[in-house]
Amino acid sequence: MEPQPSDCSYCARDERLSSISIEICRLETSTLYLFREQTYRGRCVVALNTHETELFRLDPDTLGRFSRDVSRTAAALQRAFGPDKINYAIYGDLAPHLHFHVVPKYRNGQGWGQPFALHPVEKQYLSEEGYREVIAAIKEHLSV
Ligand SMILES: [Zn+2]
């Protein structure tokens, strides 16, 4: 395992992270965040709790648990919001700490049939109440 670098926002869990996301809860081997930009209703990030940069560097047990965390998140989003498809993406050029974007897509919504926009031009932010509602719906369906 690599050391947890202080220049990594997912390790530091500082304002760089809280400015773009809200922590929902810890999962088996990762932390689930709601992405503040909600063009794709329910969009989340599942970030590994340790600083690793590539899937192939994970031991098989961690890889399995990380995959289950992502799958469990996607199932909760499906039950909570009924998207037509869920997109999954790992990029990390600028933030190499392993994190999955888990993005519900809707047939009549933005970018159907195309890769989701990492940072949409027209941003959709919610009120604090709006974030609370989305997070409550995700939590309710995570526990099923
Ligand atoms: Zn990190």
Ordered by start, the domain boundaries in the chain are 9-142
Confidence bin at 5 (pLDDT 50/70/90): confident
pLDDT at site 144:
63
33 CA to middle of ligand 1, Å? Answer: 15
For the CA atoms of 83, 39, 100, 128, what is the dihedral angle to 10 degrees? -100
Closest CA to 131 of 10, 15, 33: 33
101 CA to middle of ligand 1, Å? Answer: 16
The pTM of the full predicted model, rounded to 2 decimals, is 0.95
For ion ligand 1, residues whose CB falls within 5 Å: 8, 10-11, 51, 97
> Could you give the 3-state DSSP secondary structure of residue 42?
coil
CATH superfamily of 9-142: HIT-like (3.30.428.10)
* pLDDT, tens digit, 9 for 90 and up, residues 39-91: 999 999 999 999 999 999 999 999 999 999 999 999 999 999 999 999 999 99
15 CA to middle of ligand 1, Å? Answer: 14
* pLDDT, tens digit, 9 for 90 and up, residues 12-32: 999 999 999 999 999 999 999
107 CA to middle of ligand 1, Å? Answer: 34
